[in-house]
Structure 1
Amino acid sequence: MMFGNKPATSLTQVSPTQVTAVSPSGNGAVGVTVTTPGGTSNPVSFFYVGAPFKSSLSTSSGPLAGGNTITLNGTGLSTATSVSFGAATAVPTVISDSTISIVVPAGAAAGPVPVTVTTAGGANNGLSYTYVDAPTIGSLAPTSGPASGGTAVTITGTNLDTTDSVTFGGTPAPFSVINATTLSAVTPPGTAGAADVVVTNPAGSDTSVGAFTYVAAPGI
């Protein structure tokens, strides 16, 4: 049996009408022929599928619990059968040769994991996905400031290094990530009284109810 101009690496006759063979290395479309004492058959087309190439993920992080849907872009993805996020594996939905959709499985622990795609042509990795735990707020300092805003507030807690937003009384505040346990934020203008403080990351959010008090300017 020949695959193009290369012989099969193994050939077994199963019956007068069937043989099994192991294809040699190759690429693209080739004709497969079988030769017997009676002659050589007409070629039957066989196509070598190349290993996939991944170029990007639509989202590079998400909750440790998984369940969010992301897309993976690349080439050679039409025969994708599985996508692994570290040790966790999911079955993708093939959209086209360049795009697949995956419901991210739950992770074992927060942190980055390699992403591996397996197709009929082999497996390929090279991208990374980060599992994120939801944030928690422990304390604020100071806990009050003028209603005009502009107070620098230090927020301590956990899982703060992946923070997407900080709000005071529902109003977004500019912030800087110091480390996983500390944020620095500047209060936006607000209404006199207690305001909820909310910290959000890709895994969820935490609310510290009435944690910051806006103080009205004194009247004259």
Structure 2
Amino acid sequence: MPISPNQGSTGGGTLVTITGTNLSGTTAVKFGSKSATSITNVSPTQVTAVSPSGSGTVGVTVTTPGGTSNPIPFFYVGAPFKSGIGPVSGPLEGGNTVTVNGVGLSTATSVSFGGVTATPTVVSDTQLTVTVPAGAAPGPVGVSVTTAGGTNNGLSYTYVDAPTVTTVAPASGPTSGGTGVTITGTNLDTTESVTFDGTPAPFSVVNSTTVSAVTPPGAAGAVDVVVTNAAGSDTATDAFTYVAGPGI
């Protein structure tokens, strides 16, 4: 006499289907010593019921006018606990993979990003991976994981748009570096790196349209300035010119 699903939340409320024989006239379904609710006799071979609260592994029995069945195991599962997610941001169009760490993740069936669900790949009871669905708009969204034990919230993921660079000012400076420049554009508040001719530069985010950076040393000539975030990069071609100092 199988039961499906054979596991559910410790808080109860799991609708289970029990199949067997001679189930007509079912008067009770018990999970251990506790009675199930919302018992429905679907057919002589099938009964549905809603599990009560419980813990551990219990035997489920069905009682009819003919007697009580042998017990079949049902496993109570606690709600998942999430300890972290990484990376914590990605492109608005989704498609990247994130890892969720925690406890009680082995029965995970879905992960929600701001209400949009995705099906995870369970690695272990403490880890799962999931492909991020597309977001509705840039910005943070709540992340929740649903398992047989329930749903747990508390994590955040940020959708970002790729940056654009419109100006770099001043547009020139010495080859020794050290020039403070202001980069303007869009979606710059999630900037992760700024490079001049491929060399990383120290930077600070001012707001979504402005980033300040300090030029690293470079060879004389015009170089590309590249701004990168989790969604991609934008290149300002030949946007800064290194100028060699005078020689006597």
TM-score band (shorter)? over 0.9
CA shift, 1:41, in A, is 3.0
* 2:121 alignment partner in structure 1: 93
Q: 1:15 to 1:160 in 2, by over 3 A?
A: closer
Q: 1:32 to 1:144 in 2, by over 3 A?
A: same
CA shift, 1:82, in A, is 1.3
Amino acid at match of 2:235: T
CA shift, 1:172, in A, is 0.8
Alignment: residue pair count: 220
Do residues 71 (structure 1) and 71 (structure 2) align? no
Determine the C-alpha separation between the residues in 2 that align with 1:42 and 1:35: 10
Q: Where does structure 2 lack aligned partners over 5 or more consecutive residues? A: 1-28
CA shift, 1:194, in A, is 0.4
* 2:68 alignment partner in structure 1: 40
CA shift, 1:16, in A, is 4.3
* 2:225 alignment partner in structure 1: 197
* 1:182 alignment partner in structure 2: 210
CA shift, 1:48, in A, is 1.6
Determine the C-alpha separation between the residues in 1 that align with 2:38 and 2:127: 35
Do residues 54 (structure 1) and 82 (structure 2) align? yes
* 2:14 alignment partner in structure 1: none
TM-score by length of 2: 0.84
* 2:54 alignment partner in structure 1: 26
Summarize deviations over 1:38-61 as a string: whole Å, max 9, x none. Answer: 443332211122222211102110
Summarize deviations over 1:38-88 as a string: whole Å, max 9, x none. Answer: 443332211122222211102110111111111111122122111111132
Determine the C-alpha separation between the residues in 1 that align with 2:46 and 2:176: 84
Do residues 81 (structure 1) and 130 (structure 2) align? no
Secondary structure, aligned partner of 2:224: strand
Determine the C-alpha separation between the residues in 1 that align with 2:115 and 2:46: 39
Q: 1:14 to 1:166 in 2, by over 3 A?
A: closer
CA shift, 1:31, in A, is 1.2
Amino acid at match of 2:54: G
Pick the aligned partner of 1:4 from 28, 32, 35. 32
Amino acid at match of 2:144: T
Determine the C-alpha separation between the residues in 2 that align with 1:15 and 1:131: 49
Amino acid at match of 2:207: N
CA RMSD of aligned residues (A): 1.5
Q: 1:15 to 1:140 in 2, by over 3 A?
A: closer
* Pairs within 5 Å for 1:82-161: 82-161=110-189
CA shift, 1:198, in A, is 0.5
CA shift, 1:22, in A, is 2.0
* 2:193 alignment partner in structure 1: 165
Q: Where does structure 1 lack aligned partners over 5 or more consecutive residues? A: none
Amino acid at match of 1:215: V
TM-score by length of 1: 0.94
